[in-house]
Structure 1
Amino acid sequence: MAAAAAAARPVPLRRPGALLRSPGPCSLLASRVAAPFPRRTDSLKINQLRLAAARFSKESNSDEDDDLLSELRDKWDAIENKSSLLLYGGGAVLAVWISLVVVRALDSVPLLPGLLELVGLSYSGWFVYRYLLFQENRKELADNLDDLKKRITGDE
């Protein structure tokens, strides 16, 4: 009965927010949620964070920062072909961005994510069976990885 009486009550035009609230007992719950929570400034976590920040600021040493920056500058100066490095880095960032866009587009096709998951699980199972299950196959995989590492670094 109270809900029917509250629903029949006219809504004042001065408060448009009153249209969004449902009449009756639900407005009591909404007022509890909207009530501000008390703030505790003397919280244990806040004190721990202040202590850690103070400890970090005392321990940080500008000499370590300078050493790191000088080491990075030396490595950057040692690179002969900087343009190719920047090109490869930009290509990697672009590839990651494109792959994220493609994954989002593929999620809209209903059966495709399940099919791709099945393909991935099948390949993972084959890889485990082919290279990780038996000792001689693990040795073959380790040799292949060492050969690849040598080809990349040029230590052949």
Structure 2
Amino acid sequence: MAASSSMAQAVFAPPSPTPAFHRPSSLPNFPFLPRSAASLFTASSKLQVSGSRRSLSYCIKASSDDTSETSEVGEVFSGLKEKWDALDNKPMVVIYGGGAALGVWLSSTVVEAINGVPVVPKFLELIGLGYTGWFIYRYLLFKSTRKELADDIEALKKKIIGSE
């Protein structure tokens, strides 16, 4: 992976005749804030230096001379194309992918429906808090149970990888 080189240039503009705390007319009216505090909420493209009548404006341009990001993206797409071409049963992959997308959409719909019932979300939060407390007490509170949890995780890793 090549390191990208970026360069920032600062362009100095001539001093503007506006005072340091000039209130533009496009500023929304905040009746509950004083004018000086309300001017802090404006998005300004000028950096003004107070302390004198003159202000200094900065315009910063960022540029990148590195094109390695586009080549990496091309490598990823070419790798995906090679893997897609190597597949024998492409319709089944499309069906499985569509089924997975449908399952995610369906589960999202079910969760939204459950969330719409007034009492159920709070009840499920209570169950989650109870399970979290039990898990902390069962596996994280004592040294021997932490060791047991680490051993269980290692056994699960070995089972997933297939070395057991």
Normalization by structure 2: what TM-score?
A: 0.51
Counting only pairs closer than 5 Å after superposition, residues 47-62 of structure 1 correspond to structure 2 as 48=60, 51-52=61-62, 54-55=63-64, 58-61=65-68, 62=70
2:38 is the alignment partner of 1:37: no
Aligned residue number for residue 128 of structure 2? 120
Structure label with greater radius of gyration? 1
Greater share of strand residues, 1 or 2? 2
Q: Which amino acid aligns with 1:152?
A: I
User: Looking at both structures, which has the greater relative contact order when contacts are Cα pairs under 8 Å and sequence separation is at least 6?
Assistant: 2
**1:73–1:155 distance in 2 versus 1, CA, 3 Å:** farther
2-side partners of 1:83 and 1:150: how far apart? 32
Aligned residue number for residue 129 of structure 1? 137
**1:89–1:71 distance in 2 versus 1, CA, 3 Å:** same
Q: Which amino acid aligns with 2:159?
A: R
Name the Cα RMSD after superposition: 3.4
Deviation at 1:142, TM superposition (A): 1.3
Q: Which amino acid aligns with 1:110?
A: P
Normalization by structure 1: what TM-score?
A: 0.53
**1:94–1:153 distance in 2 versus 1, CA, 3 Å:** farther
Structure 1 residues without counterparts, runs of 5 or longer: 1-35
Moved more, 112-121 or 64-73: 64-73
Greater share of helix residues, 1 or 2? 1
* Count of residues paired in the alignment: 113
Structure 2 residues without counterparts, runs of 5 or longer: 1-24, 28-43, 48-58
Aligned residue number for residue 18 of structure 1? none
